[in-house]
Amino acid sequence: TSSDIAPEGVRPRPVVDNLPKYAAGKPPAVIEGLTSYKLSSNENPLPPLPAVLEAIADQSDINRYPDPLATKLRNALADFLGVPADDVVTGAGSLGALNQILAAFAGQNADGKADEVIYAWRSFEAYPICVGLAGAESVRIPLMPDGRHDLEAMAAAVTVRTKVILLCTPNNPTGPILTAEETERFIQSVPSGVVVVIDEAYQEFVRDPEAVDGLQLYRKYPNVVVLRTFSKAHGLAGLRVGYSVAGHDITQYLRVAATPFAVSQIAERAAVTSLGHFDEVIERVQGLVDERERVVAGLRELGWFVPEAQGNFVWLNLGEHSAGFAELAGERALSVRAFANEGVRVSIGEVEANTRFLELCAGYTNPPR
Ligand code: PMP
């Protein structure tokens, strides 16, 4: 009978039972007389470029599947980045690209044991979910007190089961970059059979001249893969376009693991057009970087400890006060991202939003030190 085969009722894989749900940034509270601002998802607050809106207005071909290889976008990226188009693999956001890497390189093995994926913690919230769903085991290495990766501890954590290491620069949610020098030393210190992912979702916001540029390293090390996205600087989060850049040793397997047709023709057109207007994109990014610098300087003037902020967000090490601070922000129609008993991440938004955030901080009595 069927009861010999399966118990009554559907059950998920144990890993699915135990994973936290991804907690997306919440919309801000509606408060009369106050414009609401969402500072909880590291989005670009500016509307799409007019040229992008024009490019996606043509939807006459959506009865057809998109080009599964996103050839136009990969060619445009190849020109833009100065890399071979074959080294670029697109996905539904850089999260889609990350899932390809994990699906191809880390999971459950024939012996029933899980591969290990090392990453810093706290880092991007989706990492534990993606790693767990791939069937692999997360090895989380605590950040240093200033929000930087502890690369020495990460290298020391490598075992024979380590298949992938995720580096996040600038690190979401704390903000610091990895330097070119420390990253290269790190890559040299881990076995060349371990895939090292450099997640550069916020790359266009970085102004620190010491910061790593993953593209320089991927050219030298066949086990390095760089992740980038159109969600942040290009402001196309809702269209879901991201990509990885790596050599053939890696991309040949990413193409096998990729969800077919992940990038729609509309998303592809938007991304190609945005790349074609990069001068406008970068002008807007500079405005956000200027705002970031204003916010960080304002907080430091108040005597707050703020780690180096190189993305489009700042990190407040508020510990046990995190939830309370987020609540106060909500009372001012600002949504921010609280990580219980750790800290609060606040995205750089519109000028008025940033000013209101600074005013909130000026009146707040438990500043991070
Ligand atoms: N990596 C990092 C570090 C991020 O912060 C994010 C978005 N919050 C992503 C990847 C995923 O972005 P997307 O899938 O929209 O490209």
Indicate the top mutation candidate among 44, 89, 95 to test ligand 1's pocket, ranked by most ligand atoms within 8 A of CB: 95
Classify the C-alpha dihedral 340-136-170-148 as positive or negative. positive
The 242-245 sheet, strands edge to edge: 88-91, 242-245, 224-229, 195-199, 162-168, 116-121, 137-142
Task: State ipTM.
Answer: 0.99
Atom 12 of ligand 1, nearest CA residue: 94
Strands (E), the chain: 37-38, 88-91, 116-121, 137-142, 162-168, 195-199, 224-229, 242-245, 313-316, 334-335, 337-339, 343-347
Task: Say how many Å lie between the CA of residue 109 and the centre of ligand 1.
Answer: 28
Taking each continuous run of H as one helix and of E as one strand, the counts in the chain are 13, 12
Q: Is 243 helix (H, G, I), strand (E, B) or coil?
A: strand
- Is domain 2-48+279-362 classified as CATH 3.90.1150.10? yes
Backbone angles phi, psi at 167, to 5 degrees: -110, 135
Neighbours of 185 (CB within 10 A): 13
Q: What is the pLDDT of residue 28?
A: 84
Tell me the CATH number of domain 61-276, given options 1.10.1740.10, 3.90.320.10, 3.40.640.10, 3.40.1190.10.
3.40.640.10
Asked if domains 2-48+279-362 and 61-276 share a fold, the reply is no
One digit per residue, the tens of pLDDT, for the chain of length 369 reads: 555 776 788 888 888 888 888 877 788 888 988 999 999 999 999 999 999 999 999 999 999 999 999 999 999 999 999 999 999 999 999 999 999 999 999 998 878 899 999 999 999 999 999 999 999 999 999 999 999 999 999 999 999 999 999 999 999 999 999 999 999 999 999 999 999 999 999 999 999 999 999 999 999 999 999 999 999 999 999 999 999 999 999 999 999 999 999 999 999 999 999 999 999 999 999 999 999 999 999 999 999 999 999 999 999 999 999 999 999 999 999 999 999 999 999 999 999 999 999 999 999 999 998
How far apart (Å, rounded) are the C-alpha atoms in residues 103 and 217? 23
Atom 6 of ligand 1, nearest CA residue: 201
Q: What is the pLDDT of residue 298?
A: 98
How far apart (Å, rounded) are the C-alpha atoms in residues 298 and 293? 8
Q: What is the pLDDT of residue 109?
A: 82
Backbone angles phi, psi at 345, to 5 degrees: -105, 130
Neighbours of 6 (CB within 10 A): 9
- Give 234's DSSP letter: T
Is the Cβ–Cβ distance between 25 and 337 less than 8 Å? yes
Indicate the top mutation candidate among 167, 197, 231 to test ligand 1's pocket, ranked by most ligand atoms within 8 A of CB: 231
Backbone angles phi, psi at 235, to 5 degrees: 65, 35
Task: Say how many Å lie between the CA of residue 228 and the centre of ligand 1.
Answer: 8
Instruction: Give the contacts of 154 (CB within 8 A, at least 6 positions apart).
Output: 118, 120, 141, 165, 186
Question: Domain-by-domain residue ranges, the chain?
Answer: 2-48+279-362, 61-276
Task: Say how many Å lie between the CA of residue 16 and the centre of ligand 1.
Answer: 21
Strands (E), 30-180: 37-38, 88-91, 116-121, 137-142, 162-168
pTM of the full structure: 0.96
Looking at ligand 1, which atom is closest to the CA of residue 229? 16
Instruction: For residue 45, list its beta bridge partners.
Output: none
Q: Which of 217, 124, 105 is CA-nearest to residue 162? A: 105
Q: Is 102 helix (H, G, I), strand (E, B) or coil?
A: helix
Between the CA atoms of 80, 83, 88 and 92, what dihedral angle is there, to the nearest 10 degrees?
A: -30
Region of residue 51 (phi > 0: left; psi between -120 and 50: alpha; otherwise: beta): alpha
How far apart (Å, rounded) are the C-alpha atoms in residues 189 and 16? 34
Q: What is the pLDDT of residue 113?
A: 92
